[in-house]
Amino acid sequence: MQFIYIKNYLNIPREKKFQFMKYLYSFDEFKVINQKIILNDNALAIELDKTSSFYKAKELIDKFLQEYKEIDSFFIDSLVIEDKTLLLKRKHKVVRKVDLR
């Protein structure tokens, strides 16, 4: 599995979120198969089909959300919960920890 993690996604206005979802589903280069909201980080993790172009998807996501400077997006390979902490991993290394308490 691979995800594109969008930190602070929940901070954008509701209408912009709706436009973003429509935008995401309009491309042939990648296919969204799942979405996970991480409330403790105001984030959205988007899982793409393994045949998707992840770099193209990230490029288009960043372009759409470029006006929001507090939003950061990056690739992760897995979401793991250990000791009430969500670990975001890329290449078996933890890139971010989110406290779930």
pLDDT at 2: 85
With cut-offs at 50, 70 and 90, classify the pLDDT of residue 94.
very high
Q: Does the pTM of the predicted model rise above 0.75?
A: yes
Which residues fall within 8 angstroms of residue 1, CB to CB, at 6 or more apart? Answer: 47, 77, 78
- pLDDT digits 0-9 by tens, 12-41: 999 999 999 999 999 999 999 999 999 999
pLDDT at 68: 95
With cut-offs at 50, 70 and 90, classify the pLDDT of residue 101.
confident
Instruction: Tell me the C-alpha distance between 85 and 94, whole Å.
Output: 12
- pLDDT digits 0-9 by tens, 43-74: 999 999 989 999 999 999 999 999 999 999 99
- For 20, the enclosing helix (H) or strand (E) is helix 14-24
With cut-offs at 50, 70 and 90, classify the pLDDT of residue 1.
confident
Distance of CA 90 to the CA centre of its chain: 13
Beta strands in 1-101 (DSSP E): 3-7, 32-38, 43-48, 72-76, 78-82, 85-90, 93-99
